[in-house]
Structure formats: structure tokens, C-alpha cells
Amino acid sequence: MPSELSVTEEQALGLDDRHLVVVEGNCKIHPTALPALQSLTSICGQSGSGLGIASGYRSFERQLAIFNAKARGERKVLDDRGCAVDLKCLSVREQLFAILRFSALPGASRHHWGSDMDVFDPMAMPAGYQVQLTMAECEEGGVFGALHRLLDEHLPHSEFYRPYARDLGAIAPEPWHLSYAPLARAYEKVLTRDLLGDCLQCADLALKPVVMRHLDDIYRRFVQLESCSEK
């Protein structure tokens, strides 16, 4: 990452996308990540796999809409088996952490940064197939299994890594989620607990009282991941 590159609090929170570039239709990423992405795409292509972006940058407002829709029962919340959770049977704290298993708080999503993206292989998709972003797609025999074997091989030699590679008991594993490590480091330093808390206090956030009551725990478990120290 160029030494002169600076990142701002607004960018870290998903409140500013003016610095991003558009790739693959409407997906946006940070321009600093583009050369490494192009290199990884070329490597995959040489082995017969595509590297498409299902989701790149996501704004604070978009993440807020996703979170609120789940908290209000307007959008399904799934468990680890892919089954819908009946939120009415849970305490408000349990509801919150069930949502956070698969969906970040607005302001706390790595998709705000332009460094992170969800990837798939468009060349492997049968006609009419809809990308699900599930573990089954990534495993041996899954529609994107070949792509993920390639990523297993080449990611250690690239500047990308999987921040959700392992289940640490909070966020569910997401092998399709790639992060450009040099840029992610910078945003991890900017996104402090207090910055996130101040932002959420001003937002029209569902479950806000329980979120703020547990924000220290949420920040530690869902935001402060094992960092990119290996990159």
C-alpha cells in the first residue's frame, strides 16, 4: 500500500465512497486493491476458473437496511444449518447475536472499506444458477469447489486472505470473503470501538439499546478479528 495513502473515519464507517472505483458492473472496490485483484483473477483464469465479485463495497445505509430488516423479522435470519431462526423464541440479546453470526452491524462491516469482497466463479455456474454464498458451494463437489482449491493454493502467496476462514465462535466461516490485507490493516486501526459507538448512537438502528449495552463484547468478538499479521 502506498505510504501516502490515508484512510478516513467516514470511509471506515461506510459513509464515503468517492475514492472507490467500479468493477464488474456495479461493484466498487478501493483502487489500491485493484492490481492485486487483477493478478489473482489472472492466476485463476490460467487454471480455468473465473473470479467474479458477488459483493464489494457496501454503504452504511445498505448495511443498516439489511440489519434492520433482519431484526424486524422482514428478512430471514439463518442458523448454521441454513434453517430460518424464529426470533420470537429468543431473548433480545439472543436475537442480536443470531443476526451478527451472518450479518455485521452497520459501521462494522468490512465491506465498507473497499478492501473486501465476496467472490464466486461465473465460469462454473450452470445456466440460470443463482449464487448463494454457502459452504456447500465452496466444498469439494460444490459448484465453486475448484475455485476454492485454487484460492487455497494461491492466497498464501498473494496480498489477499480470508478473514473468516475459521469459526472462532462469533462470525460464521465465509471462505468466499476475501480481504486485501495491506488496506484492511489501515481500516482496522481507524475503526475504534468509540468511533463505531458514536456512529450507532446517531443511527436509526433496530435493537439499539441491546447493541449499545453489549457493544464492548461485540467489538471484541465481531470487529477485532485475528488481524492480517501473516500478510
pLDDT at 226: 58
pLDDT above 70: residue 173: yes
In the chain, % of residues over pLDDT 70: 95
- Identify the domain containing residue 47 by its residue range: 9-223
On whether residue 3 sits in a domain, the answer given is: no
On whether residue 230 sits in a domain, the answer given is: no
Q: For residue 57, what is the domain's CATH number?
A: 3.30.1380.10
On whether residue 102 sits in a domain, the answer given is: yes
On whether residue 28 sits in a domain, the answer given is: yes
Question: Binning pLDDT at 50, 70 and 90, where does residue 196 land?
Answer: very high
pLDDT at 5: 64
On whether residue 2 sits in a domain, the answer given is: no
Q: What is the pLDDT of residues 7-48, one digit of tens each?
A: 999 999 999 999 999 998 889 999 999 999 999 999 999 999
pLDDT at 6: 84
Domain tally, the chain:
1
On whether residue 193 sits in a domain, the answer given is: yes
pLDDT above 50: residue 67: yes
Q: What is the pLDDT of residues 76-116, one digit of tens each?
A: 999 998 899 999 999 999 999 999 999 999 999 999 999 99
On whether residue 231 sits in a domain, the answer given is: no
Place of cell 484460492: 151
On whether residue 4 sits in a domain, the answer given is: no
**Model pTM above 0.75:** yes
